Amino acid sequence: MTELRAIRGDITTLDVDAIVNAANETLLGGSGVDGAIHAAAGPELRDECRELGGCEPGEAKMTGGHRLPATHVIHTVGPIWRGGQHGESEVLASCYRESIRLAAGHGLATVAFPCISTGTYGYPQDYAADVAVAAVREAVAEHRSIREVIFCCYSDYDLGLYTERLA
Ligand code: ADP
């Protein structure tokens, strides 16, 4: 059984096999959690990302963690919220699913996610939490080598949303 739990904290401090980055399509760094991850990992992360040639929304790509305590970073690109009728939930679910699939494919056991798309990309936090928890539950049922998934919330509000859904 995979353990799913929610914590409040800074994802860059977590000592897990992989932290997931809510990146943009260039994979060259940005604001929010993306900026924090690049700042903590050091310039070698950006160098490695440059070789990846970008990433489509809903896809995921892996790099090393460089100066982070996490050994890997999984970069995924969430949907930009445009009212909910433009396939946003499918793309967001795909981010979580593809990240878990990539982690399992590399033999990783512990993965931490931020609240993808709910910052600059404007996805309503409660809808995003519904999608995230459902998609992760589905993905770990398929990839049983994943031992633990952490939803790393940056606010008490997000932590409340995830705590409710995981109860
Ligand atoms: P997006 O562009 O996908 O919306 P953002 O980085 O703007 O990405 O926001 C995604 C989420 O990441 C937000 O909930 C934001 O509060 C959170 N966040 C920002 N910095 C960190 C951090 N260091 N650790 C964990 N979560 C963070």
Q: Are 6 and 156 in contact (CB under 8 A)?
A: no
**Percent of the chain whose pLDDT exceeds 70:** 100
Res 87: pLDDT: 98
Distance between CA atoms of residues 156 and 76, nearest Å: 24
Tell whether ligand 1 has an atom less than 6 A from the beta carbon of residue 57.
Answer: no
Tell whether ligand 1 has an atom less than 6 A from the beta carbon of residue 120.
Answer: yes
**Catalytic residue check, 10:** no
Atom of ligand 1 nearest to the CA of 77: 3
Could you say which of 10, 17, 34, 130 is catalytic? Answer: 34
Q: Which residues have C-beta within 8 Å of that of residue 90, sequence separation ≥ 6?
A: 58
For the chain, what are the domain ranges?
3-166
Q: What is the mean pLDDT of residues 104-128?
A: 98
Instruction: Name the token pair of 25.
Output: 């399509």
Q: State in Å: Cα 129 to ligand 1 middle.
A: 13
Res 101: pLDDT: 98
Q: Which residues pair with 151 in a beta bridge?
A: 6, 113
Distances (CA, A) of 81 to 24, 41, 122: 14, 28, 5
Q: State in Å: Cα 106 to ligand 1 middle.
A: 25
**Percent of the chain whose pLDDT exceeds 90:** 99
Sign of CA dihedral 150, 26, 35, 131: negative
Task: Tell me which CATH code domain 3-166 carries.
Answer: 3.40.220.10
Summarised one tens digit per residue, pLDDT across range 70-87 is: 999 999 999 999 999 999
Tell whether ligand 1 has an atom less than 6 A from the beta carbon of residue 34.
Answer: yes
Statement: residue 1 has pLDDT above 90: no
Q: Are 110 and 147 in contact (CB under 8 A)?
A: yes
Q: Are 85 and 104 in contact (CB under 8 A)?
A: no
Average pLDDT, the chain: 98
20 band by pLDDT with thresholds 50, 70 and 90: very high
Q: Are 64 and 108 in contact (CB under 8 A)?
A: no
Residue 18 falls in which region: left (phi positive, over 0), alpha (psi -120 to 50) or beta: beta
Answer whether 0.85 is exceeded by the pTM: yes
